[in-house]
């Protein structure tokens, strides 16, 4: 019976992770379509109403995102409650579920701050860029916690990071991915607020010292992305050397392929002037890349066998 319960919880955890990726992509659609101010500066109400009356397109898009975000909060709350019933205190799946709950609460608060401070629509305030960067960083932490919860629920062994230089390499890669993601969020915001009429006009904007900071940052995001990608590829190659289990080698290879696809997507975004579908696809691949990074770290750095099984249930 316990095996069935753990299997059901594992499927639920992976489903919650996938749903949160969907909500993240919908949030990017809200921003890219200019619908962020669809509910005005009201939160949690929409234009001062529980259910907007005769809403326009922008209001429908923003309100839909709020509804799906609320469902995500409830799903993660359910994940935590289920984990508390299924696992003993201190077990990795239960701990990851607790962190997931904390991060999604922060996610809701940051989203509320964007609305209440009117950092939506066509507002080019520098504060908006800072909050967007924090929002993206917290989003990655949320996805990482959900990924680890699903990993442990599926039977993945507890993770024990190494010490010294190997640990520094992991933290550096993690920090670089967060930095690239945050810079990408600001770059996408710049593309939305200051669209270029052509590739040449966009390049002139990028190198114009008088251009808005969001525009000038578009130069540095590709540089960071290429450098970080090379670093991740080197680590993935090292971790996926012969002698590693086949699953680890496949994960390392998949990570390398996704890095390459991200480079292709970034190039297309520049050449095609960042159309909406490219932005959404690019963000999706960034989320997949982050999830693969977390899974690869978990697979390469298991705790010693003597550690208590992560599937230990709460005593009846």
Final residue in a domain of this structure, among 108, 130, 156: 156
Q: Cα-flanking dihedrals φ and ψ of residue 154, to 5°? A: -85, 5
Give the span between the Cα atoms of 29 and 12, in whole angstroms: 26
Q: Cα-flanking dihedrals φ and ψ of residue 304, to 5°? A: -55, 150
Considering the domain architecture, whether residues 39 and 63 belong to the same structural domain is answered as yes
Considering the domain architecture, whether residues 52 and 165 belong to the same structural domain is answered as no
Q: Would you state the torsion angle of the CA atoms of residues 76, 82, 87, 89, taken in this order, to the nearest 10 degrees?
A: 60
Residue 242 has a pLDDT of: 63
Considering the domain architecture, whether residues 81 and 202 belong to the same structural domain is answered as no
- Predicted structure pTM score: 0.92
Residue 315 falls inside a structural domain: no
Integer angstrom CA distances of residue 11 from 5, 6, 38, 139, 154? 10, 9, 35, 21, 8
Considering the domain architecture, whether residues 224 and 236 belong to the same structural domain is answered as yes
Residue 206 sits in which domain range? 159-310
Considering the domain architecture, whether residues 149 and 4 belong to the same structural domain is answered as yes
Q: What is the pLDDT along the chain (316 residues), one digit of tens a residue?
A: 466 777 899 999 999 999 999 999 999 999 888 888 899 889 888 988 888 887 889 999 999 999 999 999 999 999 999 999 999 999 999 999 999 999 999 999 999 999 999 999 899 999 999 999 999 999 999 999 999 999 999 999 889 999 999 999 999 999 999 999 999 999 999 999 999 889 898 889 888 888 999 998 889 999 999 999 999 999 999 988 767 888 889 999 999 999 999 999 999 999 998 899 999 999 999 999 999 999 999 999 888 865 444 444 454 3
Contact (Cβ atoms closer than 8 angstroms) between residue 311 and residue 6: yes
What is the count of structural domains for the chain? Answer: 2
Considering the domain architecture, whether residues 126 and 175 belong to the same structural domain is answered as no
Considering the domain architecture, whether residues 292 and 255 belong to the same structural domain is answered as yes
Q: Cα-flanking dihedrals φ and ψ of residue 251, to 5°? A: -65, -40
Considering the domain architecture, whether residues 185 and 229 belong to the same structural domain is answered as yes
Considering the domain architecture, whether residues 164 and 147 belong to the same structural domain is answered as no
Residue 310 has a pLDDT of: 45
Local structure of 46: helix, strand or coil: strand
Residue 316 has a pLDDT of: 39
- Tokens 């690239």 -> residue: 180
Final residue in a domain of this structure, among 156, 180, 203: 156
Local structure of 242: helix, strand or coil: strand
Contact (Cβ atoms closer than 8 angstroms) between residue 205 and residue 215: yes
Give the span between the Cα atoms of 111 and 134, in whole angstroms: 10
Angle between helices 276-300 and 126-153 (to 10 degrees): 40
Considering the domain architecture, whether residues 48 and 139 belong to the same structural domain is answered as yes
Final residue in a domain of this structure, among 108, 128, 156: 156
Instruction: Extract the tokens encoding 132.
Output: 């967007």
Residue 187 has a pLDDT of: 93
Considering the domain architecture, whether residues 132 and 30 belong to the same structural domain is answered as yes
Considering the domain architecture, whether residues 169 and 152 belong to the same structural domain is answered as no
Residue 309 has a pLDDT of: 46
Residue 138 has a pLDDT of: 97
């Amino acid at each position: 019976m316990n095996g069935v319960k753990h299997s059901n919880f594992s499927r639920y955890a992976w489903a919650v992770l996938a749903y949160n990726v969907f909500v993240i992509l919908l949030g990017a659609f809200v921003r890219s379509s200019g619908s962020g101010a669809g509910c005005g500066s009201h939160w949690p109400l929409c234009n001062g109403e529980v259910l907007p009356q005769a809403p326009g397109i922008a209001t429908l898009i923003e309100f839909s995102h709020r509804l799906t975000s609320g469902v995500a909060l409830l799903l993660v709350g359910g994940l935590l409650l289920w984990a508390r019933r299924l696992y003993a205190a201190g077990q990795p799946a239960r701990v990851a579920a607790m962190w997931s709950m904390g991060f999604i609460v922060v996610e809701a608060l940051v989203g509320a701050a964007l609305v209440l401070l009117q950092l939506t629509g066509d507002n080019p305030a520098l504060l908006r860029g800072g909050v967007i960067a924090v929002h993206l960083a917290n989003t990655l932490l949320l996805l990482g916690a959900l990924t680890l919860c699903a990993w442990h629920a599926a039977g993945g062994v507890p993770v024990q990071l190494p010490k010294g230089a190997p640990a520094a390499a992991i933290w550096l890669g993690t920090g670089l991915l967060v930095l690239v993601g945050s810079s990408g969020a600001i770059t996408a915001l710049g593309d939305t607020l200051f669209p270029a009429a052509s590739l040449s006009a966009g390049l002139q904007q990028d190198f114009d010292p008088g251009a808005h900071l969001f525009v000038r940052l578009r130069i540095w995001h590709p540089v960071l992305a290429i450098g970080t990608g090379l670093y991740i590829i080197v680590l993935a190659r090292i971790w996926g050397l012969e002698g590693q289990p086949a699953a680890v080698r496949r994960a390392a290879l998949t990570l390398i392929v996704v890095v390459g696809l991200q480079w292709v997507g970034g190039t297309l975004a520049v050449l095609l002037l960042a159309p909406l579908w490219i932005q959404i696809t690019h963000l999706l691949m960034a989320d997949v890349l982050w999830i693969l990074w977390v899974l690869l770290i978990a697979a390469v750095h298991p705790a010693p066998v003597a550690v208590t099984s992560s599937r230990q249930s709460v005593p009846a």
